[in-house]
Amino acid sequence: MSPPRRRAAARRSPVSVVTGAAGFLGSHLTDLLLARGHRVIGLDNFITGRIENIAHLAGHRQFKFVEQDVTEFLFLEEPVDYIWHFASPASPVDYLEYPIQTLKVGSLGTHKALGLARHKGARFLLASTSEVYGDPQVHPQTEDYWGHVNPIGPRGCYDEAKRFAEALTMAYHREHGVATRIVRIFNTYGPRMRLQDGRVVPAFISQALRNKPLTVFGDGTQTRSFCYVADLVEGIYRLMLSAEPLPVNIGNPTELTMLQFAEEIIRLTGARSRVVYRPLPQDDPKQRRPDITRARTLLKWKPRVALADGLARTIEYFRNQP
């Protein structure tokens, strides 16, 4: 018969640390982990995260929140099984305002989170981004494409922070044997996005709800693909539980031009808006679409929420914001 302490340890809930837990993606991931029986320790310093995103978890017995900058030393007494590193500004508005903090969280923050994973013997997942591909010369983007990135341009602070974070993650995997996972996240949308965060979904929705013109940059022919947040976090959860250490794209391969997307937002909101055009920002990618063959094959994952359904939920969320 096993000793009582060992039996108790075997029964305990898995413990997950989520950095950036008060952010858009981090808060949805936290909800999924709690629903699947994890005890979650959330970390955030609220540079871009919002207390409103986790307010519904106040008093939850399986959730503990620590207000902390992840670039500082991370000390946790309890055992840790999984570390989900989501801390980072993620929209152009944010990382252009906080370029140094963005670089620090991608470098020092990733170093601290990986160090905690090594110390605890925990599995580590890095939330990387499709921005590591830059303005791609390969379409759609596969995980073996190395990218086309301007390291000194205005977006370089975010793109290169994530590229460095991937390199550091693989170094810990190879040098220290840390069980690491890397997800490259493509455009994601859903409730809890900040209305003024500068990304195209909240920008178009906020303009449409006020019957203002929808601002399309360039000539509107540049493309994006949009994945609903519930689909995304399901794919990320499956990746963490997989045995795949190399990067995996998670996103929706259905591609739209920005003009098509603007017209869909106008249709779904019933707005009287029109489209206006502005110059394309420097280094803005002309095309963005994931090849998700690896996710389909290894994780048995594909997006399930139709764009119209996901946008309807997101629009309803924004309608109810003060």
Which domains are present in the chain? 13-193+226-253 (3.40.50.720)
Residues 104-121, mean pLDDT to the nearest whole number: 98
Note the pLDDT tens digit of each residue in 33-90.
Answer: 999 999 999 999 999 999 999 999 999 999 999 999 999 988 999 999 999 999 999 8
How many angstroms separate the most distant Cα atoms in the chain? 72
Average pLDDT (208-215) is 94
Residue 283: predicted pLDDT: 63
CA angle centred on 313, ends 48 and 196, rounded to 5°: 30
> What pLDDT sits at residue 121?
98
DSSP string, 120-179: HT-EEEEEEEGGGGBS-SSSSBPTT---B--TTSTTHHHHHHHHHHHHHHHHHHHHH---
pLDDT score of 3 more than 90: no
What pLDDT shows up at residue 8?
44
**pLDDT for 1 beyond 60:** no
SS3 193: coil
Q: Is position 158 annotated as part of the catalytic site?
A: yes
Q: In angstroms, how far is CA 112 from the centroid of its own chain?
A: 19
Q: What is the mean pLDDT of residues 90-112?
A: 94
- pLDDT recorded at residue 199: 86
Say if residues 101 and 60 touch (Cβ distance below 8 Å).
Answer: no
Alpha-carbon gap, residue 87 to 125, rounded angstroms: 12
Examine the pLDDT at 6 and tell me if it is beyond 50.
no
Mean pLDDT of 268-292: 86
Question: Would you call 216 exposed, middle or buried from its count of C-beta atoms within 10 A (0-12, 13-18, 19+)?
Answer: buried
Helices (H) and strands (E) in the chain, counts: 11, 13
* Measured distance CA(20)–CA(53) in Å, rounded: 11
Residue 54 has what DSSP assignment? T
| Marked catalytic residue, from 82, 95, 98, 158 | 158
**pLDDT the model gives residue 10:** 54
**pLDDT higher than threshold 90 for residue 109:** yes
Mean pLDDT taken over the chain: 93
* More confident position, 220 or 171: 171
188 phi-psi bin (left φ>0, alpha ψ -120 to 50, beta other) = beta
The whole-number pLDDT of residue 263 equals 94
Across the range 93-100, mean pLDDT stands at: 92
- Of 60 and 285, which is predicted with more confidence? 60
pLDDT-derived band at 311, boundaries 50, 70, 90: very high
Alpha-carbon span 140 to 130, nearest angstrom: 11
Q: Which two tokens stand for residue 310?
A: 């996901």
Does 261 have pLDDT greater than 60?
Answer: yes
- Residues 254, 303: Cα–Cα separation, whole Å: 10
Q: Is the full-model pTM beyond 0.75? A: yes
